[in-house]
Each structure stands twice: as C-alpha cells, then as structure tokens.
Amino acid sequence: MNDTVFALSTPVGGAITIMRISGPDSRALLQMFFTGRIEHRRVSYGRIVDDKGETVDHCTAVFFSAPYSYTGEDMAEIFTHGSYAVAKRLTEMLAASGLAVQAEPGEFTKRAYLNGKMDLAQAEAVMDLISSTAERQRRAAQLQLEGRLSAMIGGIYDRVKASCALLSAAMDDDTDEIEYDEHAASAETALIKADIDRMIEGGMRAKVLREGARIAIIGSPNVGKSSLLNALICRERSIVTNIPGTTRDTVEESADIDGIPVVFIDTAGIHETSDTVEKLGIERSEREKENADMVLLLIDGSRSISEEDCAIIKGLDTQQNRKILVLITKSDLPQLVEADAEAFCGLDAMRISSLTGEGMTELKKRIAAAIAPDERDPALTNTRHIALLEQAAKRLGAASEMLKNGETDIAFLEMRAAMDDIAAVTGREDPSEDLINSVFAGFCVGK
Ligand code: GDP
C-alpha cells in the first residue's frame, strides 16, 4: 500500500488531461519530469521533459504535501494538453521510472479512506456524486459526502454500544451489585430498532434518487395508457390504437420529473384473455404492479366503470407502502365517470386528457410529491447500507424480546452482531479487507 501510484483522472480527448500521482515518491517523480516549481498547494507552470531532455508537453502541476491532500499522502496532479500521445508518453515515463505503478480503480479514494480522510459511506458518496444525473441525486450524494449520514449512523452505533456495555457489566458482575433493568434495556433496544426502521423507510423513498422511481401505468385495455405514457415523455413510443390489447408486453420509458429520475412502465392491459402472448404480458404487468413505487390506475372517463375496472381496483393491494393515484382519462370527451374518491376505495383521483394535456402539469406535481424523498435527513440511498441496517434492526428486535424474557446472554450476542452490521456501513472498527475491496470494486480508475 505504500507504493506510489498514478492514473489518468480524466478521459483523454478533452482540452486538458489530468494525471494524478499519490504516495511517498510523488515529489521525486515531479522533480524527475517537471521543470516548474514544486511547492505545497501551489500551481506552477512548466514542461514535462523526458530522460533525454526533450519536451513532451507544456503543462501546469500542483503538489500537495501529506497529510493535506485528497488521499492524505503526498500527491501531485499534472494538467497536460488533452492529447492521447501526451497521455501515453507520460504514462510510459511514470511506469518506467520504477518509482510508481498504475493505480487500481478507486485507489485514490481507497487511500483517502485508509488514511482516515473519509469513511466508507463518504467514499461511496464520491462515486454517487460522480454518477449523479438529476439534481436531487447530486444533493443526496453531497450530504452523504459531507458526513451527515455517517454522523447519524455513528449516533446509532454509540447507543447500541452503550447498551452492550451496560449489559456486559451486569453479566460480568458476580457480586450482583449492579442492578440491571431488563425491561428498560428491552425498551431502549426497541427504540433504537424503531429509529433504524425509520431511516430504512426514508431510505426506501430516497432509493428512487439512485435507481429511479418505478411508476406502473395500469388499467383495462383502451383506457389510454399508451397515450398517457407518450404525453408524459412527450414522444411517440408505445403503439396507440383503438383495438383493445395492443400493448402486449410492458414498455419502459425514463423521464426526469422535478429532479427525480423516473421510469414509467406501460403495462399490458390487465384483463382476462386466452391469447398466450397477451397472457405473458399480463402476468408481467401484474408483477410490475407489485414492484412499482407508485401506481397510476387509469379509468376511462368517457365510458361507465366496467366490471374489469372494478376487478383491477379490487386487485390492488392498498396496504402496500406505495402510492396509488386514480386517473380518470379522456377528460376532453363527455364524462360518464364521477371523480368521486369514494368510488375508488378512498384512493386519490383526478381527471386528465392526454389529448389536450389537461391535468398533466398537476399530475407531474402529484407524482413528484408522492415519490420525492424527505430532504431534511441525509438519505440512505445505498443498497449495501440498507441491507446492513435491515439486518441490524432485525437483530435488535430479537434482542429486545430476549431481554424481556431475561435471556441476556443471547441478547448480548445479537446486540454485538448488530454493532458489527452498523459499523460496516461507515467502515469503522476494523472492517474486513473483503468489505473494503467490494466497496471500491465499483469505482472508476483515477478516482
Ligand atoms: P391503452 O390500450 O390503454 O394503452 O390505450 P391507448 O393509449 O392505446 O388509447 C386507446 C384509445 O383511446 C385510442 O384511440 C386513443 O387515441 C384514445 N385516447 C387516449 N387518450 C385519450 C384522450 O385523452 N382523449 C381522447 N379523446 N382519446 C384518447
């Protein structure tokens, strides 16, 4: 790990290419190839020269003395012209120097983590920030990078640790001098679990920032699903016809709704059929309906509610933690369906017309309100973090029950295991090498 490493941090082909170097020989390497001044955090102009004294490029370079750098080590960044030939030459010179080797993907950030510059969750936020495309994704990554999530996780870890310490002291006490209140301990453990559950719940909403919200458009044939999808993405994509059952499989389209990446799924008309191809499509749309973060249920306003519509409404599991919005379509035609909420089992309902665009602005607003995460708290967007915290919550729930029953020994083991799960989110308390490697495996070279 003490090797000096180098990597291009920008794709070659732009106006400027950045070569990064990190490790104890960074200064020596700069002295070897760069003619400018080398001073901590000072940008200087100079030339890159090879061992024969030939100029390879004119460039600027900056040097950072350890520990005041991104990685916490001595570091240098060289800004050359964005030429493939220059980049290739400089790479060859660095490799041939014998002082440095090519960096692995994510190695600079990994070193920053190992040198205590940031924790694992912050390192992951670097990657999220780089890959963010929508504004809210950027904001969530920024909060995580600033350590707000880490602070929250740290608070929870400390509470479990304190509970463990109390329990451990009581278990070690042969004289019975320490009074341990199992019921109070059980209640505190249940409280910590509830706090973690709340974070996970918020995280489920925030996950849409990373993966995009999945919104299923469902309804019987010909209610206007494909037309709505086209209106939402402003493009002709699904086949719109007046023959029922033409959208045989599901169609997916991405859009940006109020800074949130959204995937709309136009499901095949859900209805009884004997056609096998259509049947497959319908089965898939049933699945989509289950997996979606939000469901738009379409009812054709220009005809009376059919038995089929009723069956679809009854088939919706309103208990699930996701939003359902009823859209009464074709509002430009004479309306036979009342936009009466009670008719739709207490579900929110509104009228739209994909033809005239009536209600579309309001619809987008309602979609954003339904899926937008709460931005007051740092968001739990990472599936690795969510999985670890789910496991910790499960263990704490079990421990709380065990404490209530006086099973302190096994409760202690569960709580210790929960501590390890929580610690693995930020990588505090000696994380395993496997964990570290798996986190950085997804990084790009030069980061
Ligand atoms: P799907 O089977 O649910 O996907 O329905 P389509 O989107 O294919 O639409 C079925 C028929 O309804 C087509 O003839 C559309 O032109 C028509 N339609 C869809 N939306 C509207 C609307 O807002 N107003 C009117 N007047 N017709 C619509």
Q: Residue 23 is part of a domain; what is its CATH number?
A: 3.30.1360.120
Query: Is the residue at 162 inside a domain?
Result: yes
Same domain, residue pair 258 and 343: yes
- Are 121 and 144 contacting, i.e. CB atoms less than 8 angstroms apart? yes
Domain region containing 268: 212-371
Same domain, residue pair 293 and 193: no
141, pLDDT greater than 80: yes
Same domain, residue pair 186 and 280: no
Closest residue CA from atom 18 of ligand 1: 224
**Binding site membership of 226 for ligand 1 (Cβ less than 6 Å):** yes
Query: Is the residue at 447 inside a domain?
Result: no
Radius of gyration of the chain (CA): 29
**Binding site membership of 4 for ligand 1 (Cβ less than 6 Å):** no
Query: Is the residue at 108 inside a domain?
Result: no
Each residue of 68-95: pLDDT tens digit? 999 999 999 999 999 999 999 999 999 9
**Binding site membership of 231 for ligand 1 (Cβ less than 6 Å):** no
Closest residue CA from atom 19 of ligand 1: 224
Same domain, residue pair 136 and 94: no
Atom of ligand 1 minimally distant from the CA of 242 = 14
Ligand 1 pocket check: which of 222, 331, 335 to mutate, most ligand atoms within 8 Å of Cβ? Answer: 222
Query: Is the residue at 295 inside a domain?
Result: yes
Ligand 1 pocket check: which of 218, 225, 227 to mutate, most ligand atoms within 8 Å of Cβ? Answer: 227
Distance in angstroms (rounded) separating the CA atoms of residues 318 and 75: 56
Query: Is the residue at 203 inside a domain?
Result: yes
Query: Is the residue at 310 inside a domain?
Result: yes
Last residue of a domain, one of 74, 103, 132: 103
Q: How far is the CA of 342 from the centre of ligand 1 (A)?
A: 25
Query: Three-state SS for 245?
Result: coil
Both tokens of 272, joined, read 């009884």
Report the chain's mean pLDDT, rounded to a whole number.
Answer: 85
Instruction: Output the pTM of the full model.
Output: 0.67
Same domain, residue pair 338 and 218: yes
**Binding site membership of 227 for ligand 1 (Cβ less than 6 Å):** yes
Atom of ligand 1 minimally distant from the CA of 241 = 8
Using the structure block, give the residue that is written with the tokens 């996780």: 153
Q: How far is the CA of 400 from the centre of ligand 1 (A)?
A: 55
Q: How far is the CA of 371 from the centre of ligand 1 (A)?
A: 26
**Binding site membership of 270 for ligand 1 (Cβ less than 6 Å):** no
Same domain, residue pair 335 and 223: yes
Each residue of 304-358: pLDDT tens digit? 888 888 888 777 765 555 688 999 999 999 888 876 655 567 788 899 999 999 9
- Percent helix, strand, coil in the chain, to 5, is 45, 20, 35
- Are 239 and 281 contacting, i.e. CB atoms less than 8 angstroms apart? no
Please report the pLDDT score of residue 320 as a whole number.
57
Atom of ligand 1 minimally distant from the CA of 352 = 23
Q: How far is the CA of 214 from the centre of ligand 1 (A)?
A: 22
Q: How far is the CA of 241 from the centre of ligand 1 (A)?
A: 7
Sheet of strand 251-257: strand arrangement? 251-257, 260-266, 213-218, 294-300, 323-329, 348-351
- Please report, as a single letter, which amino acid is at residue 54: E
**Binding site membership of 221 for ligand 1 (Cβ less than 6 Å):** yes
Any alpha helices (H) in 147-258, and if so which ranges? 148-172, 182-211, 225-233
Each residue of 251-301: pLDDT tens digit? 788 888 887 888 888 875 555 455 555 555 555 556 656 678 889 999 999
Q: How far is the CA of 244 from the centre of ligand 1 (A)?
A: 10
Q: Which residue in 370, 411, 394 sits closest to 205, CA to CA?
A: 370
Both tokens of 237, joined, read 């994509």
374, pLDDT greater than 50: yes
Same domain, residue pair 199 and 237: no
Query: Is the residue at 34 inside a domain?
Result: yes
Same domain, residue pair 286 and 174: no
Please report the pLDDT score of residue 277 as a whole number.
52
Same domain, residue pair 232 and 365: yes
Q: What angle do CA 274, 280, 281 make, to 5 degrees?
A: 105
The number of domains in the chain is 3
Last residue of a domain, one of 103, 131, 148: 103
Same domain, residue pair 219 and 198: no
Range in 15-19, 99-103, 119-123, 289-293 with the lowest mean pLDDT = 289-293
Q: How far is the CA of 361 from the centre of ligand 1 (A)?
A: 19
Residue 233: Cβ-neighbour burial (10 angstroms; 0-12, 13-18, 19+)? middle
Distance in angstroms (rounded) separating the CA atoms of residues 193 and 325: 32
Sheet of strand 4-8: strand arrangement? 43-49, 55-64, 75-81, 16-22, 4-8, 100-102
Atom of ligand 1 minimally distant from the CA of 333 = 26
Most confident of 161-165, 202-206, 307-311: 161-165
Residue 303's CATH number: 3.40.50.300
Distance in angstroms (rounded) separating the CA atoms of residues 189 and 149: 21
Using the structure block, give the residue that is written with the tokens 């451990």: 168
Query: Is the residue at 244 inside a domain?
Result: yes
**Binding site membership of 274 for ligand 1 (Cβ less than 6 Å):** no
Same domain, residue pair 237 and 308: yes
Same domain, residue pair 223 and 349: yes
Please report the pLDDT score of residue 375 as a whole number.
66
Distance in angstroms (rounded) separating the CA atoms of residues 11 and 7: 11
Last residue of a domain, one of 68, 103, 138: 103
